[in-house]
Amino acid sequence: MKRMCIWLLFVYATLAVSAQEYVGITGMVHVPTAEMATEGEARIGAFFLNSHFLPERLAERKYNTFNHFLAIAPFSWIEISYACTLMKSSREGDYDMKDRTFNAKIRPLKEGKWWPALAIGMNDIGHTPSNEELGVDGAYFQNIYLAASKHLLWRNHEFGFHLAYRYYTSDYNVKWRGIAGGITYRPAFAKNFRAMIEYTAEDVNIGADCRLWKYLFLQASLQNGKYFTGGVCLKINLLGKKPF
């Protein structure tokens, strides 16, 4: 029965189909990757999201917000998360609404010596795509993506090269549709630290993240070198496996 449930989830995600850290799925800042969390890893975290980081429908109201999430990688080839973003009905109002999203990423091809890892994923599974003409505001964050990642070692320094094609279902996010990608760097002397630069099809973001005291994960970034987004996450491996 458990295996059947997993395969049903796989089929649904494939047919329905922001592997991103801010929704609990492994990625860069805003761009998805084919990297995966260690099997058995569970996450709980929260992020500050600046107004420019949000879909146009929300960003036009010019307010910053926060989200929180729960995530798990039951196997080495799949990640699942639930994220909740605080929203306002008006710029001056309180955070009186919430946007809830279910997110998944599946890696059908593991990285090899001569080929990259490949992953497919979707953020905001199950929501109706936003349609301004019909007055539907459902899927603010919904996007489908295919990502490839390849890592190279040089004197034990790790360089990651990532390429993705992403399609946002809502016209609110048309600026992020298309090819995205980036480069990550993990130094030999600090394997728990990662620096990155990414292109989102619209913005160029720089960022860094770090894992401290085995369980604590921190990420900070600047969108277009100006607007801060960052968060904190608690990562615990339920199977006792090490992250590196």
Distances (CA, A) of 103 to 25, 48, 50, 70, 195: 8, 19, 21, 10, 24
pLDDT at 190 over 90: yes
Letter string b/e over residues 28-67, b meaning 16 or more CB atoms within 10 A of that residue's CB:
bbbbbbbbbbeebbbbebebbbbeebbbebbbebebbbeb
Given a contact cutoff of 8 angstroms between Cβ atoms, the answer to whether 18 and 55 are in contact is: no
pLDDT category at 40 given cuts 50, 70, 90 is very high
First to last CA, the chain: 32
pLDDT category at 10 given cuts 50, 70, 90 is very low
Amino acid 4: pLDDT = 38
Given a contact cutoff of 8 angstroms between Cβ atoms, the answer to whether 223 and 53 are in contact is: yes
